Amino acid sequence: MARSSDDTSAGPSRSGERRRLEELVGRVAFVDHHCHGIVRGPLDRAGFESLLCEADAPGPWHGSLFDTQVGLAVRRLCSPLLDLAPHAPADDYLARRAELGSDEVARRLLRGAGISEFFVDTGFRPDGLTTPDELAARAGASAREIVRLESVAERVIADHRAGDFVATCRDGLAAAAATAIGFKSIAAYRVGLDLAPDRPATSEVAAAAARWAAGIERGAPIRLADETLIRFLIWTAVDLGLPIQFHTGFGDADADLGRCDPLLLAPLLRATAGLGVPIMLLHTYPFHRHAGALAQVFDHVFVDVGLAMQNVGSRAGQVLAELLELAPFGSVVFSSDGYGLPELFHVSATLFRRALSDFLAAGVADDAWSHLDAERIARLIAADNAHRAYGLDGEGAGRGSLA
Amino acid sequence: MARSSDDTSAGPSRSGERRRLEELVGRVAFVDHHCHGIVRGPLDRAGFESLLCEADAPGPWHGSLFDTQVGLAVRRLCSPLLDLAPHAPADDYLARRAELGSDEVARRLLRGAGISEFFVDTGFRPDGLTTPDELAARAGASAREIVRLESVAERVIADHRAGDFVATCRDGLAAAAATAIGFKSIAAYRVGLDLAPDRPATSEVAAAAARWAAGIERGAPIRLADETLIRFLIWTAVDLGLPIQFHTGFGDADADLGRCDPLLLAPLLRATAGLGVPIMLLHTYPFHRHAGALAQVFDHVFVDVGLAMQNVGSRAGQVLAELLELAPFGSVVFSSDGYGLPELFHVSATLFRRALSDFLAAGVADDAWSHLDAERIARLIAADNAHRAYGLDGEGAGRGSLA
Amino acid sequence: MARSSDDTSAGPSRSGERRRLEELVGRVAFVDHHCHGIVRGPLDRAGFESLLCEADAPGPWHGSLFDTQVGLAVRRLCSPLLDLAPHAPADDYLARRAELGSDEVARRLLRGAGISEFFVDTGFRPDGLTTPDELAARAGASAREIVRLESVAERVIADHRAGDFVATCRDGLAAAAATAIGFKSIAAYRVGLDLAPDRPATSEVAAAAARWAAGIERGAPIRLADETLIRFLIWTAVDLGLPIQFHTGFGDADADLGRCDPLLLAPLLRATAGLGVPIMLLHTYPFHRHAGALAQVFDHVFVDVGLAMQNVGSRAGQVLAELLELAPFGSVVFSSDGYGLPELFHVSATLFRRALSDFLAAGVADDAWSHLDAERIARLIAADNAHRAYGLDGEGAGRGSLA
């Protein structure tokens, strides 16, 4: 175990084992349990770069954002699907992209990603993006919706101010639960993950809603950043029985990464254990080892390294292996966290497949586990864990719509 | 340096070097400076799985806890000692285990672990577990006791309530120090590691003990979770001169991992520097790099990655190498953190040996250090550092009983 | 991508690629954007060891500080430049060092480091150390000064007490900016990095200065540890337009590492974005992945793993690769953080070169990027990024003296 790297005699058989596992992992249809829509129209270089990673846009100091792991990965992995040589220069890539048109590019890149089901978060700037159905159509796959809790509350306060906020929110989330497959919270961005674990009293919620509405009356933007209200949304979602996704780990400059450590969620995880509702910790990097520890001790916690897969490029294998130190193999799921660019779906899925098959093949070559174990783990992580968490595994199928 | 992995011409010589270091590391008797007793009787599958990792028990979401790194490592490494093929299925393994009986299984697995001395923490649920002498007898090794500070205080409050708490605790710890080899604190579980660095006044301690006793009178369970009392215990232990172990890093769901970062101990480490009392930071993962930094700047701090070795399975080499980035080679010790299952001792020791010999052999192959350096470092980490820390290195032998 | 380690057929070509990149990285002159002076006179073994790593000195528990990664790296990498065999024993090394004399040793080691420009922090114990010009002369290179903000304030309070503190500090920093190439803050050591992001009012600054002066009058040492005053210095530096370096990550026992996480700077980074002043995050280990995330989302943030390169020895490649997961290639700079011993410059530079060429060669071998990409990235990290950040890239040359 842990020794293949220099056991040269194992080289050939390991290569054979790798090929077997690559083929298996290549055949398995992946569930992408967290992604977003893609931009509908054409993009110039600045627009493309602004969607490439978590930087808002290229600036005067760092040069082109193509000079990142994700930029290099796009040039390497996506160019061939656009009929270019690998590593095509950025301008050539974008010229060819414009020539083919964004629909054709999306079709090629999404179909190449090997994803059969997309669970699409529709809460962030949906206006310029494809709907779940549009995404699914381009990919030749199916799509289900993930409803963002904070967005529902923001629509309620916009439409009704504080009047009947509690009941209207509950109704809105219950209506969403009839068709959505899960909920998502961006508490990390708004108040941090250091959430009190208890369910707030209705009177507290009503008072907080009144304060929020009063602020909006005075001209504040409609942006939910109240810890009591966010806890109310989370507990309402718990009552509805759908899995709840949490943004954790790194994101854009709006979030203080220090408040996005999933360890801050421990009290809430303890409070929700045994309630039958899976908690899905998204992204988690650079706190993915913390997330793995949580997944080991809390049976209802699932984890991924979604956003990291696209961003860390050649390092994807190392990051996934770190997650798999403590996280039970039954707790790890795949997400692309694709947003805006179909390239990000393709890069995430391709790097994740390689990371997974490399991890599993190395274990077989090192005799840490058997090929049969590796196959079972591959199927768990590619799709079975997600199907179980979201109630799509036969017995639980349709669970999402019964909540 | 840092380049063996693809220098194919170095393959054969590196393999030879690895074998030489494996043989050396295999011959050296290891000191296991932190472990627990094992379960005396038979275990069914649920009982076995509940002891396999830090999860309380298998639950409805993640499936069998055999589908973890530690589960795979048990099936790989322990099966042959039970006359099974490597990677035996879990049910076959457990059937054979039942057939052999828990004593015979313990004998085989413990003797195969290559540990000559066990320092046994007797503070956690000792009733169902073997005593240090029983463990030693099964292993054909010797054992010494580590006394848990909080358990002593809990016995004192149970027997005496708050009356004479300070003096009775001091007497109890002094009596323990006459035979024990060290103390341990689980402050991390009870109040977190963010401990004030100063020694509390006797009046403060007496007042806190009175509050604790009053709570117990009102029906609270006997569970020490008062920061003042825990600091009193730590400083009393410092006065007695024995090494003090601290749980740090991950553990079960009772602990908030965010409060278990050893960096939180920095003020206490600064306050205890130069007092002649080693502080032993246990486990430390996923904060093992933090622990390495503490070990570098505080001469009296020793570190291990005990619990992690069993849990991270095929990743043990990477985790140990990360600890050895900053931690001086004179500061790193071995612990199995075995608890309940003899399998965990065997897996910890086997994975640690491999991780250590792989680390050292890679350095020799990369010409980062000489073979003689590697041998010296192996002896330090296997036993010499522990002997020095616990006063068993000749001059200091018996120091534990002189405190 | 991410797969070279066991693709044995790629061995030869990868070795060739590695040699090409090693030659390139070996030819490029490096900018060392953060270092200190070296000790002028001879050093005995205790004195040498006390400068070898962040431990104050060897102590009774850990043995010689040569038994560290940095100690082994010095014996491996520096011995040949002193005409000794690699891995010379520590006493032999020190005897030869004494024989050659500290000037000759410095000349050999510094010239072997391949650094063409040193940016020298003159704020820490400068009396016993070489000046920037003396360092440059020994190295056959050029040097520029980095002015430590807290040292300027300490000179002002020593010379003037609180009288006109605000204006005198501003004048002092403006005078420094006329010749220095950048500023540095050790807020991490003094108050931690959890700095409020706003510029303090002049009245607040004056009041804090008065409190500080009053303390000194009562006998307190002249040591700036006031958050308001440190923020005043930082904002004054921002006004002067020079890059500002921050100590982050591990250091000696004076600092609480938990307060040195660069994530704590996020509010200040947000407040200084777009002002045209680069913020240079030094060292960052073990929080280098956190630093990489900051560098991705803040265009004005540059990052290094300076101190870590010398300290982690054989692990330098792994640490640099972790930084390069999220940090854009245009944001990463080199520093040796050499202090006291010329050995530390040589070890840092040698390990960094290897880490960089190994990282880039592995990517080419794995087809993650092209050779041309690798060359461009090497030039960015070796010197171009530093030149851009410090205004030495042609258009901006001399920017430092125009502030």
How close is the nearest chain A Cα to the Cα of C381, in Å? 11
B307 and B212 within one domain: yes
Residues C193 and C262 sit within 8 Å (Cβ to Cβ): yes
CB of B306 closer than 8 Å to CB of B247: no
Helices of type H across A273-341? 288-297, 306-312, 316-326
**Blockwise average pLDDT, block size 10, chain A, 403 residues:** 39 70 89 97 96 94 98 98 98 98 97 95 84 96 97 94 90 96 98 97 96 96 97 98 98 94 98 97 98 98 94 97 98 97 98 96 96 96 98 58 29
DSSP state of B332: B
* Closest Cβ–Cβ partner in A18, A253, A258 for C270: A253
Residues A212 and A339 in one domain: yes
Q: Domain check: are C207 and C62 in the same one?
A: no
CA B241 vs. chain centroid, Å, equals 20
Confidence of residue B7 (pLDDT cuts 50, 70, 90): very low
> In the prediction, which pLDDT does C162 show?
73
Beta bridge partners of C197: none
- Is residue A264 in some structural domain? yes
- Please give the structure tokens belonging to residue B311: 């849990």
Q: Do residues B235 and B330 share a domain? A: yes
Indicate whether B205 and B345 sit together in one domain. Answer: yes
In this complex, which chains have at least 3 CB pairs below 8 Å with chain C? A, B
Please choose, from the candidates B363, B32, B387, the residue with its C-alpha nearest in 3D space to the C-alpha of residue C68: B363
| C-alpha distance from A58 to closest chain C C-alpha (Å) | 7
Chain B residues close to A6, C-beta within 8 Å = 4-5, 10-11, 14-15, 18, 362, 365
State the smallest CA–CA distance between residue C306 and chain A in angstroms.
19
Sort B128 into a burial class: Cβ within 10 Å, 0-12 / 13-18 / 19+: exposed
DSSP class per residue in C76-143: HHTGGGGT--TT--HHHHHHHHHHH-HHHHHHHHHHTTTEEEEEEE--SSGGGB--HHHHHHHHTSEE
Our measurement of the distance from residue A172's CA atom to the centroid of its chain's CA atoms, rounded to an integer in Å, reads 23
Nearest-CA distance A156 → chain B (Å): 33
In this structure, what token pair is assigned to residue C181?
A: 């190439």
DSSP string over C173-241 = HHHHHHH-SEEEE-HHHHT-S---SSPPPHHHHHHHHHHHHHHHHTT--S----HHHHHHHHHHHHHHT
Q: Return the pLDDT at C224.
A: 97
CB contact under 8 A, A297 and B355: no
Determine, yes or no, domain membership for B68: yes
Q: Which of A4, A5, A6 to mutate to test the interface with B (most CBs of B within 10 A)?
A: A6
CB pair distance less than 8 Å for A299 and B59: yes
User: Tokens in use for A71?
Assistant: 């930029």
C368 to A73: CB separation less than 8 angstroms, yes or no: yes
CB of A382 closer than 8 Å to CB of A30 = yes
- On whether both A65 and A150 belong to a single domain, the answer is no
Query: How high is the ipTM of this complex?
Result: 0.94
Question: C51 and C342 in contact (C-beta within 8 Å)?
Answer: no
Q: Do A65 and C328 touch (CB under 8 A)?
A: yes
Q: CB–CB of A370 and B87 under 8 A?
A: yes
Residue C64 forms part of a structural domain: yes
What pLDDT score was predicted for residue B27? 87
**Share of residues in chain C with pLDDT > 70 (%):** 94
Residue B53 lies in a domain: no
Does C336 lie in the same domain as C224? yes
Mean per-residue pLDDT of chain B: 93
Mean pLDDT of chain C: 93
Picking from C329, C358, C387 by the largest number of A CB atoms within 10 A of its own CB, the best residue to mutate is C329
Tell me which chains share at least 3 CB pairs under 8 Å with chain B. A, C
Other beta carbons within 10 Å of A80: 14
Q: Give chain B positions within 8 Å (CB) of C311.
A: 296, 325-326
- Token digits for C153? 């304030």
For chain A, the domain total comes to 2
From chain B, the residues in CB contact with A366 under 8 A are: 314
Q: How confident is the model at residue C13 (pLDDT cuts 50, 70, 90)?
A: low
In a domain, C48, yes or no: no
Residue C304 near residue C332 (C-beta atoms within 8 A):
yes
Q: Is the distance from CB of A335 to CB of A282 less than 8 angstroms?
A: yes
Between helix C165-179 and helix C149-160 the angle, nearest 10°, is 130
pLDDT at A13: 57
- Give start and end residues of each alpha helix (H) in A178-300: 187-190, 202-217, 227-240, 266-272, 288-297
| Chain B closest-CA separation from residue A266 CA (Å) | 6
Distance from the Cα of A269 to chain B's closest Cα (Å) equals: 10
Query: CB neighbours (10 Å) of residue C29?
Result: 11
Residues B198 and B93 in one domain: no
Element (H, E) at B302: strand B301-303
Q: How far is C270 from chain A (nearest CA, A)?
A: 8
| Most A CBs within 10 Å, among C1, C329, C395, to test the A interface | C1
Q: Judge: C55–B261 Cβ closer than 8 Å, yes or no.
A: no
d(CA B48, CA C326): 41
Under an 8 A CB cutoff, do B61 and A1 touch?
no
Upper half-sphere CA count for residue B231 (Cβ side, 13 Å): 25
CA distances from C351 to A158, B270, C17, C69, C302 (A): 58, 31, 18, 12, 20
CA dihedral C283, C285, C289, C294 (to 10 degrees): -40
| Pairwise CB contact (< 8 Å): B61 & A325 | no
Q: Is the peptide bond between B243 and the residue preceding it cis, with omega within 30 degrees of 0?
A: no
Residue B316 near residue A2 (C-beta atoms within 8 A): yes
Cβ-defined contact of C55 to B324 (cutoff 8 Å): no
CA of C53 vs chain B CAs: smallest distance (Å) = 8
B316-334 per-position pLDDT tens digit: 999 999 999 999 999 999 9
Could you give the C-alpha distances from C304 to B9, C286, C312, C336, in angstroms and in order?
33, 12, 14, 9
A282: β partners: A247
C309 and C170, same structural domain?
Answer: yes
pLDDT in tens, B144-158: 999 999 999 999 999
- Enumerate long-range contacts of A387-393, CB under 8 Å, 24 or more apart: A387/A31, A388/A330, A388/B61, A389/A33, A389/A243, A389/A278, A389/A280, A389/A302, A389/A333, A389/B61, A390/A33, A390/A119, A390/A181, A390/A182, A390/A243, A390/A278, A392/A181
Query: Which residues are registered as beta bridge partners of B340?
Result: B38
The reported pLDDT for the residue numbered A126 is: 67
Cis preceding linkage at C221, omega within 30: no
In the predicted model, what is the mean pLDDT of residues C197-212? 97
Tens of pLDDT, residues C23-43: 888 889 999 999 999 999 999
Q: Which of A71-80, A390-399, B192-201, B340-349 has the lowest mean pLDDT?
A: A390-399
What tens digit of pLDDT does each residue of B352-376 get?
Answer: 999 999 999 999 999 999 999 999 9
For chain A, how far is it from start to end, CA to CA, in angstroms?
45
Query: C77 CB contacts (<8 Å, ≥6 apart)?
Result: C86, C346, C347, C350, C351
Q: How far is C329 from chain A (nearest CA, A)?
A: 6
Q: What is the mean pLDDT of residues C245-249?
A: 98
**Hey, are the CB atoms on A61 and C326 less than 8 Å from each other?**
no
pLDDT band per the 50, 70, 90 thresholds, residue C1: very low
Show residues of chain B in contact with C69, CB under 8 Å: 324-326
Measured between beta carbons, which residues in chain B are less than 8 angstroms from residue C56? 297
Contacts of A5 in chain C (CB under 8 A): 5-6
Burial B26-49 (b: 16+ CB within 10 A, else e): eebebbbbbbbbbbeeebebebbb
For residue B5, give the chain C residue with the closest CA.
Answer: C5
Residue of B303, B369, B371 best to disrupt the C interface, most CBs of C under 10 A: B369
Residue B58: both structure tokens together: 């298998």
pLDDT at residue C14 is higher than 80: no
Q: Decide: residue B385, CB within 10 A, 0-12 exposed, 13-18 middle, 19+ buried.
A: buried
**Residue B112 in this model has a pLDDT that exceeds 60:** yes
Whether B86 is covered by a domain: the verdict is: yes
The predicted pLDDT at position C127 comes to 77
Please check whether residue C248 is in contact with residue C282, taking contact to mean a CB–CB distance below 8 angstroms: yes
Do A84 and A113 lie in one domain? The reply is no
Distance in angstroms (rounded) separating the CA atoms of residues C357 and A88: 22
Does the pLDDT value for residue B9 go beyond 60?
no
Contact B36, B55 (CB under 8 A): no
Range of the domain at B92: 58-100
Q: Do A254 and A341 reside in the same domain of the chain?
A: yes
Other C-beta atoms lying within 10 Å of the C-beta of residue A229? 26
> What number is the average pLDDT over the span C90-101?
98
* Contact by Cβ (8 Å): C360, C330: no
- Measure the CA–CA gap between C234 and C271, rounded to whole angstroms: 12
CB contact under 8 A, A54 and C297: yes
Of B294, B299, B370, the CB nearest to C59: B299
What's the CA gap between B156 and B149, in Å, rounded?
A: 11
Return the partners of chain A (3 or more C-beta pairs < 8 Å).
B, C
Higher pLDDT, residue B3 or C277: C277
Q: Closest chain B residue to A325 measured between Cα atoms?
A: B312
Q: What is the pLDDT of residue C128?
A: 85
Q: From the candidates B296, B358, B366, B376, which should be mutated to test the interface with C, based on the most C CB atoms within 10 A?
A: B296
The answer to whether the CB atoms of A331 and B86 lie below 8 A apart is no
Pairing assessment for the beta strands B244-248 and C115-121 based on DSSP bridges: unpaired
Contacts with B13 from chain A: Cβ below 8 Å: none
Mean of pLDDT values over C371-394: 95
Domain presence at residue B319: yes
* pLDDT tens digits for range C60-77: 999 999 999 999 999 999
With a CB cutoff of 8 Å and minimum separation 6, the contacts of B40 are B102, B128, B129, B130
Residue A118 CB coordination number (10 Å): 29
Preferred mutation among B52, B84, B283, B314 to probe A, highest tally of A CBs within 10 A = B314
**CA distances from residue C316 to A392, C327, C351, C356 in whole angstroms, order as listed:** 45, 17, 6, 9
How far B258 CA sits from the closest chain A CA (Å)? 6
Residue of B nearest to C6 (CA): B6
DSSP assignment letter at A332 = B
Q: Are A195 and A235 in contact (CB under 8 A)?
A: no
| B294/C73 CB distance under 8 A | no
Nearest to C53 by CA among C392, C285, C317: C285
Which tens digits make up the pLDDT trace of C281-324?
999 999 999 999 999 999 999 999 988 999 999 999 999 999 99
Query: What are C349's two structure tokens?
Result: 């530079």
Inter-chain contact B299–C69, Cβ cutoff 8 Å? no
Residues C93 and C116 in one domain: no
Question: Which of B270, B278, B370 is facing C61, going by the closest CB pair?
Answer: B278
Q: Residue A244, SS3?
A: strand
Confidence of residue B124 (pLDDT cuts 50, 70, 90): confident
Pairing of strands C182-185, C244-248: parallel
Domain presence at residue C394: no
